[in-house]
């Protein structure tokens, strides 16, 4: 069953929290590079967490297009629906 976008977003915010060293307020429009200042290693750790959480494979070529938390939530819903 494909999770709702709201459910994905809520869980995604929980997964991001441990990596949020700056204590930035997390929202749909939060940007990984600009707001959270994630480096590539942090991004890959987060991707691994997402893949484990939702049993999906996130294509690496998709990552440059995912700039905000909301965009990632949308991508997860699409990937789950395609699975």
For residues 79 and 58, is the Cβ–Cβ distance under 8 A? yes
State the pLDDT at residue 83.
Answer: 81
Mean pLDDT, residues 4-22:
96
Could you state, in order of their start, the residue ranges of all structural domains in the chain?
A: 5-82
Q: What are the distances in angstroms from CA 52 to CA 16, 29, 35, 55, 57?
A: 14, 24, 25, 5, 9
The pLDDT of residue 19 is 95
* pLDDT value at 2 more than 80: no
User: 10 Å Cβ neighbour count for 32?
Assistant: 21
How much is the pTM?
A: 0.92
CA distance 24 to 1: 32
CATH architecture of 5-82: Orthogonal Bundle (1.10)
């Amino acid at each position: 069953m494909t999770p709702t976008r709201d459910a994905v977003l809520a869980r995604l915010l929980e997964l991001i929290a441990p990596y949020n060293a700056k204590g930035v307020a997390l929202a749909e429009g939060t940007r990984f590079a600009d707001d959270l200042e994630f480096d590539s290693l942090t991004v890959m750790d987060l991707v691994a967490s997402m893949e484990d959480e939702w049993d999906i494979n996130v294509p690496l070529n998709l990552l440059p297009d995912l700039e905000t938390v909301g965009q990632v939530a949308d991508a997860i819903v699409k990937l789950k629906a395609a699975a």
